[in-house]
Amino acid sequence: MSNIATAFGIHEALKQLGLSEINEGTSTGTKNFGSGETISSYSPVDGTLIGKVKTTTEADYGKVMDAATSAFKDWRLKPAPLRGEIVRQFGEKLRELKEPLGKLVSYEMGKSYQEGLGEVQEMIDICDFAVGLSRQLHGLTMHSERPGHRMYEQYHPLGVVGIISAFNFPVAVWAWNTALAWVCGDVCIWKPSEKTPLCGVACQNIITQVLKENNLPEGISCLINGDYKVGELMTSDNRIPLVSATGSIRMGKIVAKAVAARLGKSLLELGGNNAIIVTPDADIKMTVIGAVFGAVGTAGQRCTSTRRLIVHESVYDQVKNAVTDAYKQLRIGNPLDENNHVGPLIDTEAVKMYNSALEKAKAEGGSVLIEGGVLVGDGYESGCYVKPAIVEADNSFKIVQEETFAPILYVLKYSGGIENAIAQQNGVVQGLSSAIMTNNLREAERFLSASGSDCGIANVNIGTSGAEIGGAFGGEKETGGGRESGSDAWKVYMRRQTNTINYTTELPLAQGIKFDL
C-alpha cells in the first residue's frame, strides 16, 4: 500500500469490507465471482494497485442466472414487509460500515471523502425509503360497469432485474435500484463498472452476510464483473425482463436497442448537459456556491454536474468575476484529505478527453477565463489530476453541445427575457438537470412551467448537482426518460395486473354485448 493509503487507513477499510485478500485475485467463495481474466483496480488518487478481481465468463454467468432464477421463486412469495426487513438489516450494516465503504469509494473512484460518505448515506436513505415502501405497494380499486363485479389493480414482481452502473457513483446507483427491486420481490444481478470493481465486491460481501444470517438464497443478489461484453449477456437475456443501465448516451442507445429487440424493458439514466440560468434578480453569493460545487464536485464527473452557466448580460461581468475568483481558491489534491476541494479524474483516458474538449472549445472560438491543464509533481503521480477550467463560449459550439465528464464550465450570455435563457438551456439533446437562480417569482414559475425547462429535474435557487432520495431521479430526451429512487419509481420494478371478480350467478359481458347460448 502507498503512503496515502496507509495514512488514511485504506488497508483497515479493505479488511472491514472483507477485501483484505482481494489484491491476490482470490474468490470470496460465493457464486457471484468469476473465473475469467483479471481486472486490476488502480486508484486514481495515487496510482496504487488496490486489488484484482476475476471477470465473469459465459459459463459463470449461466451459473449466476441459475442461482438468481431459483432464488426468485422463493423470494417473490415472501410478504413484502418481510422483504423490507431484509433491506432494513442491509441498511443497518451500511451504517456500521459507512466509514470504510466511504473511504473505498473515495480511494477507488477519486471523489472526496465527504462525497464518498455521502454516497453511502444515499444507500442508507434509499434503504429507509424502501422499508417504508414495503408496506405501501398499493394498487387501485375501480367501479365496474357490470353489476355484481369488482375491479382492482395489483402489482407483482417482475423477476430478475439486471443493473449496469457507472464508475462515478459506484455504490449508490446500484442501491437505488436494488433496494426498491428487493422490496418489490425481484432479485438482482449487478454489473458494476470495470473501473470500480472493488466497490461492487464490497457491497456484495455486505448483502451476502445479511442473506446468510436470514437463511435466504444467495441468488437474491448477484454480482458479475467485466467490460461491455459481460453486460451484453444481460441485455440479450430473455430471462431478465428489466435492465437498468446508467452511463453514456452512446451506451444507453446500445442497451435500449438490444433490450427492445427482445421486447424487454429498460430503465436508462444517461448523459447530462446541465445548465444554471442566472437572471438579473439572482442572489450572486448563492449562485457562486451552486455553480462552483456543481462544476467541480466529483471533478465534474457527475451526470448532474453543471456544464453551462447561462448569465444575463446585465449581471454577466459580476457573475463571471465572482466565479473566476472562487476558482482561484480551489485546492486540488488527495480527495481523502478533507482540506482539498477537487480530486482526480477516474483515469488517464478521462484526462485525454478533458484536454481534447478544451482544445475543441478554443478552436471554436472560446475564450479561456480559467486555464486548465494536467497537474504534475508530488501528490499528482497518478497523472489523473487536472485543473478545473472556465471557458466563455456560445451554446452553438459543437463541444458545448456534448457532455464532457470533466471539470469544464462554459459561461454563456443571454439578453432579453427569461424565455431566451430557457431556449438556450433546452437547446441541447440531453435533459437531465437544470436550475435557475432568481428571486423573481414570475421567472421561477415560468422556468417550472410546461414551456420552461424540459429536464427531468428543475431547481430554483439551488444548483444542478445532487438529489434527495424522496424525489424520482432521471431525465428526458437523450438522457433516457427513466426514473429511479423516490416517488413512484418502484412501479418500474413490478408488473401491473388488472383483476375483475364476478360474485353473481350471471355472466354479463362488458359494453352490453349479448352472447346467448
Q: Which residues are catalytic?
A: 269, 303
- Grid coordinates of 206: 455486505
Question: Look-up: residue for cell 496515502?
Answer: 4
C-alpha dihedral over 248, 251, 257, 263, to 10 degrees? -80
- Residues 436, 279: contact at Cβ < 8 Å? yes
CA distances 458 to 32, 49, 437, 450, 504, Å, are 39, 40, 11, 12, 51
CA angle 220, 224, 225 (to 5 degrees): 155
Spatial separation of the C-alpha atoms in residues 440 and 229, rounded to whole Å: 51
What is 8-55 written as a DSSP string? TTHHHHHHHTT-TTGGGT---SSTTS--SPEEEEE-TTT--EEEEEEP
Closest among 479, 463, 466, 475 to 125, alpha carbons compared: 466
- Grid coordinates of 299: 471533478
Number of neighbouring beta carbons within 10 Å of residue 381: 15
Tell me whether strands 408-414 and 430-431 are parallel, antiparallel or unpaired.
unpaired
Question: Look-up: residue for cell 363485479?
Answer: 149
> What letter would DSSP give residue 411?
E
